[in-house]
């Protein structure tokens, strides 16, 4: 019994035979050893189809992922048992993805008028599914900021994060009211994203007296005043669930010295060795210890506290923390 369906074999067999024909045609002009090796690989794949072992990993004997067989019908190992050569190629792809993603992050310490910002973006793996944007104002326009979390982990989540980033960057150039921008971002994201995926997100803009804020199902932002903390509740559904979801905007006054904190649940859901979560309360406590200081001191000390809390446990989820502070 073969590991893959008869229809997949039916689809892949002619592709393998076509490769064989191309290799034989090239045998006269290309380095002979190289072509002979490839021919042997192709023949071995055809042999595996005949004896029914095609599509099984040669190391663990589990079925190889169908999408990888479709991309390369000669694949002999599952994703967990790549050959050193395949592993190197896979790592190079991930490194490239990391570089692309790093370039999508906003500049550090963007400040404008009465406002200063600071953020830290800490993916759990090489690439992350958290989204962070700060758009520096030009021509006296307000400062735009956003933080989000794409459901899921790994490369798929990071691809959707880059997609979300592209959507917001194109919408930002249109200078729309925040509510309109959120509705359009939701529609675009819904229509171009698998139904299994969505993103929670908080976006805001600075105003004369404070900020306007829209929370699409994300962890509630915290407003740090001199001696108090306000939790700002969610005002809408995550992006990508329903294409005609509506969003409401809250106007929040900020005084000089007040800070707005946006974060992702990789911080509040970080776990210690006993399985306890970091939680919002501890985050508030940690922020208040440094509330009189600037955004950089606050973000650094929170992340240090989370690392301390986690102890020997590895980071499970992406962590992003953004401080928007009125000077
Ligand atoms: Zn395997």
Average pLDDT of the chain, as a whole number: 90
- Residue 91 in domain: no
- Ligand 1 centroid from CA 150, angstroms: 29
pTM here? 0.78
87 located within any domain:
no
> What's the CA-to-centroid distance between 84 and ligand 1, angstroms?
14
92 part of a folded domain: no
Angle at which helix 84-104 crosses helix 154-172, to 10 degrees, equals 30
Domain containing 173 equals 99-326
Together in a domain, 141 and 210: yes
Q: How many CB atoms lie within 10 A of CB 260?
A: 26
**Å from CA of 157 to ligand 1 middle:** 24
Residue 113 covered by a domain: yes
Domain membership of residue 106 (yes or no) is: yes
Which residues sit opposite 323 in a β-bridge?
118, 261
Domain co-membership, 305 together with 175: yes
Work out the average pLDDT over 140-149. Answer: 92
The mean pLDDT of 160-178, rounded to a whole number, is 94
Among 6-10, 25-29, 84-88, 115-119, which stretch is predicted with the lowest mean pLDDT?
25-29
Boundary of a domain, candidates 49, 81, 113: 81
Whole-number Å distance between alpha carbons of 55 and 52: 9
pLDDT at 1: 47
Residue 248 lies in a domain: yes
At 317, phi and psi to the nearest 5? -140, 160
Q: Are residues 225 and 180 in the same domain?
A: yes
**Joined tokens for residue 246:** 């509506």
pLDDT tens string 88-144:
888 888 888 888 888 899 999 999 889 999 999 999 988 889 999 999 776 678 999
**31 with 163, same domain?**
no
Residue 201: inside a domain: yes
Question: How many domains does the chain contain in total?
Answer: 2
In this structure, the answer to whether residues 77 and 117 fall within a common structural domain is: no
Asked if residue 167 lies in contact with residue 146, where contact means CB atoms within 8 angstroms, the answer is no
Instruction: Using the mean position of ligand 1's atoms as its centre, give its distance from the Cα of residue 74 in Å.
Output: 15
Region of 316 on the Ramachandran plot (φ > 0 left; ψ -120 to 50 alpha; else beta): alpha
Provide the CATH number for the domain around residue 55. 1.20.120.910
Q: Listing from the earlier edge strand, what are the strands of the sheet with 111-112?
A: 111-112, 115-122, 319-326, 259-263, 222-224, 229-231
Question: 56: CA distance to ligand 1 center in Å?
Answer: 8
Ligand 1 center from residue 37 Cα (angstroms): 23
63 beta partners: 56
Do residue 174 and residue 244 come from a single domain? yes
Q: Which residues are found with C-beta within 5 Å of the ion, ligand 1?
A: 57, 59-60, 78, 81
Spacing, Cα 59 to ligand 1 middle (Å): 5
137: CATH: 3.60.40.10
Chosen domain end from 52, 81, 110: 81
Distances in whole angstroms, Cα of residue 114 to Cα of each of 15, 83, 293, 296:
63, 55, 16, 16
Ligand 1 center from residue 57 Cα (angstroms): 5
- Same-domain pairing of 77 and 103: no
User: Pairing state of beta strands 199-206 and 229-231?
Assistant: unpaired
Whether residue 41 sits in one domain with residue 178: no
The residues, any chain, with a CB within 8 Å of residue 229's CB and separated by 6 or more, are: 222, 223, 284, 287, 288
Please indicate, yes or no, whether residues 13 and 109 belong to a single structural domain of this protein: no
| Residue 90 maps to a domain | no
The answer on 247 and 215 residing in a single domain is: yes
What sections of 147-294 are H helices per DSSP?
A: 154-172, 178-191, 265-268, 279-288
d(CA 71, CA 81): 17
What is the whole-number distance in angstroms between the Cα of residue 43 and the centre of ligand 1? 21
Handedness of CA 20, 26, 30, 36 (dihedral sign): positive
pLDDT tens track for 261-313:
999 999 999 999 999 999 999 999 999 888 777 899 999 999 999 999 999 99
- Domain co-membership, 26 together with 137: no
CB-CB contact of 80 with 65 (8 Å): no
C-alpha 160 to ligand 1 mean position (Å): 28
- Identify whether residues 54 and 203 lie together within a single domain: no
Q: Tell whether the model's pLDDT for residue 229 goes beyond 50.
A: yes
Q: Of the candidates 47, 81, 115, which is a domain's last residue?
A: 81
């Amino acid at each position: 019994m073969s590991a893959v369906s008869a229809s997949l074999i039916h689809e892949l067999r002619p592709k393998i035979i076509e490769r064989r024909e191309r290799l034989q045609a090239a045998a006269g002009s290309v380095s002979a050893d190289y072509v002979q090796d490839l021919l042997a690989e192709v023949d071995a794949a055809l042999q595996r189809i005949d004896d029914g072992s095609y599509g099984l990993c040669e190391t663990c004997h589990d079925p190889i992922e169908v999408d990888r067989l479709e991309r390369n019908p000669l694949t002999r190992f599952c994703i967990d048992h790549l050959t050193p050569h395949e592993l190197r190629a896979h790592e190079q792809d991930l490194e490239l993805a990391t570089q692309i993603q790093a370039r999508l992050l906003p500049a550090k310490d963007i400040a404008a008028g009465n406002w200063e910002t600071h953020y830290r973006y800490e993916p759990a793996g090489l690439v992350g599914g958290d989204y962070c944007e700060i758009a520096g104002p030009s021509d006296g326009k307000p400062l735009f900021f956003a933080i989000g979390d794409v459901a899921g982990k790994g490369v798929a989540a990071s691809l959707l994060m880059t997609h979300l980033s592209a959507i917001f960057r194109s919408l930002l150039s249109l200078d729309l009211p925040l509510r309109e921008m959120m509705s359009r971002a939701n529609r675009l994201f819904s229509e171009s994203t698998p139904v299994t995926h969505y993103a929670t997100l908080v976006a805001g803009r600075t105003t004369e007296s404070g900020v306007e804020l829209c929370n699409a199902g994300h962890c509630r932002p915290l407003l740090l005043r001199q001696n108090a903390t306000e939790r700002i509740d969610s005002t809408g559904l995550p992006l990508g669930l329903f294409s005609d979801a509506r969003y409401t905007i809250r106007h929040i006054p900020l005084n000089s010295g007040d800070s707005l904190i946006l974060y992702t649940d990789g911080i509040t859901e970080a776990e210690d060795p006993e399985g306890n979560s970091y939680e919002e309360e501890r985050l508030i406590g940690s922020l208040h210890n440094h509330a009189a200081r600037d955004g950089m001191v606050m973000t650094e000390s929170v992340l240090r506290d989370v690392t301390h809390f986690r102890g020997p446990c590895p980071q499970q989820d992406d962590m992003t923390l953004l401080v928007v502070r009125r000077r």
